[in-house]
Amino acid sequence: MRFRDLKKQSIQQNKTDKNKPKVTYARFVDRIKALITDLFMIYAPILYIITYVFLNGKEDFQSSQIAPLIGVSIYGLIYAMLISKFGQTPGKKAYLIKVVDSTSGEHINFFRAIIRFIAFLFTATTILGLFLPFYRKDNKALHDLICNTLVVTIKE
């Protein structure tokens, strides 16, 4: 191929790259802060209601094997609903980050949000996937790779 043709291709590619919207990947620190905020705003009230409304207090909750499972399940459903509808949870909204599809940049559907939550539980349990964002330019964790999602910073 001639140099002139290569240069023409390079110029055309640069023009298409400039038309493509730039994506700002969310910082891992902001993702952790958003998770902690969500745990306090969504998960803690769920556990409180299970413990003191449906059970007879702390001892019953600690002795129950099904109560924590129910709490995590309810939290997962609420998380998936918020991610699929808005792309954000309250914690993600507070830190101006959003979960989107890697290819289209749109919200993910409810089923993928559930799978992402289950993959997050696996990732957090093994801790292996939580170190992955430190080695990737796009800050994707293992559950983001499994579900083909991105966590991006939004402009407000």
Dmax (CA) for the chain in angstroms is 80
> How many structural domains comprise the chain?
1
89 is a domain residue: yes
Convert 13-27 to b/e letters by CB count within 10 Å (16 or more is b).
eeeeeeeeeeeebbe
15 is a domain residue: no
| Pairing of β 97-101 and β 149-153 | antiparallel
pLDDT > 90: what percent of the chain? 69
5 is a domain residue: no
20 is a domain residue: no
128 is a domain residue: yes
pTM comes to 0.83
Q: Angle at CA 154, nearest 5°, toward 128 and 138?
A: 35
pLDDT > 70: what percent of the chain? 88
Q: Which domain holds residue 71?
A: 25-153
13 is a domain residue: no
9 is a domain residue: no
pLDDT digits (tens, 9 = 90+) for 88-114: 999 999 999 999 999 998 999 999 999
